[in-house]
Chains A and B, each alone.
Chain A
Amino acid sequence: MERQKTFENPYLPKPYKVLSFTRESSDSFTIKVDMRINHEPGQFVQVSVPGIGECPISICSDSNKYIELNIREVGNVTNALSKLKKGSVVFVRGPYGNGYPMRSLRGNNILIIGGGCGVAPLRGIIEFVANNREDYEDVNLFLGYRSPADMIFKKETKKWKKDYQVDVSVDKVPHGQSCHDMRVGFITDALKEMHLDKNNRVVFICGPPIMMRYVIEILKNKGFNDKQIFISAERLMYCALGVCCHCMIKGKFTCIDGPVFRYDEVPK
């Protein structure tokens, strides 16, 4: 019988060096990995800890010389990943999925709305826009966190504030702490007060499902239509190849049809 052709095993991760490890908040960190790949903002990779498991993490940088991954310690794999240091080896496969279609959105104003660790994939857009600044018009950022201590990308946010309109809100400030450069309240309150022209503007949203739902409601009340809105979906995922079916939303696979969906194409 015909001999089996040799080809790459799609489940097999490859080893890469960790170039740096940065603690972002009490339960999240960012690693820079020596993985040289072409990718779009919003795409993700599968990160492995042998013996523990694998999990999907979105790429939060825009470079073909390395990737950066912001990881929140919420499960077994992400807790194990938090033990990485500069120089460690991490196992990765990817990139996977459809990212934000930035090239087809040239010439638009950009509105970015992120909640908690949902800011991570959006950071990829912010870097992409910085690398292609002449292609896009105004950039507005609305970022929300539970408390000042949960804020990620503190250094980057300072830089963004110089170049763009940035509005950071925190749900609450613990007793005895002060916070002068953030708004206290839900991100949705900040959005309700927003006076941005909806014309010629695209919106990128990522955050907890409940936040996304209310944000979209507010945007629609302000006259935004579904085709202007892009969301990034989160689901349980194993294969990232469109096979294992865990990430299916109606007939669509988050891993290959998403994770970024234009809102009118989200299976409802």
Chain B
Amino acid sequence: MQVFKLQKKGFNEFLEKVRSSYELIAPIKEDLVKFEKINNVKDIHLEKNSYFPVKEYFFRKEETLFQFDGKKFITPKLKTPTRAFFGLRRCDLAGIQHQDKVFMEDVNDPYYLEARKNSFLLGYHCPSAPSEYCFCGSMNLEEFFDIMFYDHETFFLAEIGSKKGEFLVKKFSKYFSKTNEIISEVEKTIPGTERLEKKDISKLYDHKDWKKGVDICLSCTACTALCPTCYCFSIHDEISIKNTKESERKRSWSSCQVPEFTKVAGDHVFRQEREERFKHRIYHQLDYFKEKYNVNMCTGCGRCIEGCPTRIDFVKIINEME
């Protein structure tokens, strides 16, 4: 793929130009690192990876599917500004790629598509593992980006990954200079991120060691909320207080870690035991999703471990299974 060079000196100016054309979303550090709309490109924080995933810009926490006016359903007019995302790590990009498969290939989800279509994905290749919980190197992530930036001392190398990427290079051609440099396979790997030793867990379902995680799990659902790929949702209706004939149907994130996730009318719960729920998440991440889409759902970002109040490190649990 085509490679360009950008001097670090002019890089903020480049980002500023991007910002003046599109809404620029990148990680900033407040108390925690988070993807936010950038007002000043100097605020962009690249040392640590974002604590929160970027998914809520496409698969929103809550989405109004349609309104009901008493007679018919009205789909809200969808309008997301064109956005350029910068500072996306390989795990963030893989999360977007996997959600694309669910919301754009499997079904035509108009809400996701609308937010996703008008977006540019500018990646930032981690020079080293930004967190001790990272294990993306074990996840066989595919190359997925519009432009990927590789951090060198005085310059960035930019690899173009799509038509959208080519478009941006043309539009901001002043900053991209031609180069003969290539990005080797070695440079594309991130040292210290091959933590997960067992790639196939399909035969480990009944292993006793899952209890190590199950016993200290609080069912708090932080893991699923922080996961860049977790895409479960529930749908509910809300009645307008002003006019009870009017209502809205909304969807919102939900989590397989609580009993209510499988509760049907009559109060029967299909995954009543915490162990079943805990394993369901891990198996969806590392087994079920792969069966359907040929890629792991898990991107190896380690956010579910970092954000877990009892630090359940399922990678360590799996590694230690005999």
Contacts and interface: CB of A to CB of B under 8 A. Distances in A.
A74 B232 CA distance: 25
B10 interface: no
B107 A242 contact: yes
Contact of A243 (B72, B109, B118): B109
B188 interface: no
B66 A12 contact: yes
B231 interface: yes
Nearest to B292: A251
Interface in A91-135: 91
B117 A242 contact: no
B257 to A, nearest CB: 12
A1 B82 contact: yes
Interface stretch (B122-130, B283-291, B307-315): B283-291
A61 to B, nearest CB: 22
Nearest to A51: B247
B175 interface: no
Contacts of A239: 107, 233, 235
Interface in B224-245: 231-239, 244-245
B17 interface: no
Interface string B97-110: 00000110011111
Interface residues of A, number: 38
B194 to A, nearest CB: 26
Interface residues of B, number: 52
A236 B231 contact: no
B263 interface: yes
Contacts of B274: none
A238 B234 contact: yes
B109 A78 contact: no
Given A9-B75, A10-B107, A53 B237 contact: yes
B284 A1 contact: no
B250 to A, nearest CB: 11
A2 interface: yes
A91 B268 CA distance: 26
B292 A244 contact: no
**Residue in B234, B235, B239, B291 whose Cβ sees the most chain A Cβ within 10 Å:** B235
B233 A236 contact: no
B23 to A, nearest CB: 13
Q: Name the residue in A7, A49, A78, A243 with the highest tally of chain B Cβ atoms < 10 Å from its Cβ.
A: A243
Contacts of B209: none
> Binding site of B, secondary structure by majority: helix, strand, loop or mixed?
mixed
B254 A4 contact: no
Contacts of B292: 251
A243 B102 contact: yes
Interface string A40-59: 00000000011111110000
B290 to A, nearest CB: 9
A111 B245 CA distance: 46
Interface string A1-22: 1101001111111010000000
Contacts of B287: 251
B57 interface: no
B235 A243 contact: no
Contacts of A49: 237
A49, A53, A251 interface centre (most CB from chain B within 10 Å): A251
26 contacts: A1-B82, A1-B118, A4-B114, A9-B66, A10-B108, A10-B109, A11-B65, A12-B73, A12-B75, A13-B73, A50-B68, A50-B73, A75-B266, A235-B262, A235-B270, A236-B261, A236-B262, A236-B264, A239-B235, A245-B256, A246-B261, A248-B256, A249-B270, A251-B289, A251-B291, A251-B292
Across the A-B interface, give the 7 residue pairs with the lowest CB-CB distance, nearest first.
Answer: A251-B288, A75-B265, A51-B247, A50-B68, A74-B265, A245-B232, A238-B235
Given A11-B66, A245-B284, 6 more contacts: A8-B108, A10-B109, A12-B75, A238-B235, A241-B107, A250-B283
